[in-house]
Amino acid sequence: MIPNVLNTLVGLGLAYAVVLHPTWVEQRYLPFGAFAVAILVLAAWARRSDVRRWFSTVNIALAVALGILSLMPLATLPNLTFWGGFWIGCLVPVIALWAAIFRPSRATA
């Protein structure tokens, strides 16, 4: 539960950075790469305690996509930088918070 809550905060930080500091996230490797590593590590940690593994699998896939995005020349691709970072920054917190809150009853498990 704790890694999912932390992943929610990291994802919200990514969305905040993309929307309010676009020139900072357009740097070549560091901003998106750091967010990708943080999301990947937290999703791998959360995988041990998740009720369903697809929560962390989706967040790991989004972290890999963000890592690939960080390798591109982002200053020349402002639309891809904004929308890619924005959607990943919106999806990661939703899925991580869902995983943190979702605890099925014993009858359905």
Three-state secondary structure readout of the chain = CHHHHHHHHHHHHHHHHHHHCHHHHCCCCHHHHHHHHHHHHHHHHHCCCCCCCHHHHHHHHHHHHHHHHHCCCHHHCHHHHHHHHHHHHHHHHHHHHHHHHCCCCCCCC
Task: Using the predicted structure, report yes or no on whether residue 109 has a pLDDT greater than 80.
Answer: no
Question: What's the confidence (pLDDT) of residue 1?
Answer: 84
**Which is more confidently placed, 109 or 24?**
24
Q: Where are the domains of the chain?
A: 2-101
Per-residue pLDDT of 36-86, as tens digits, reads 999 999 999 999 988 888 999 999 999 999 999 999 988 888 899 999 999
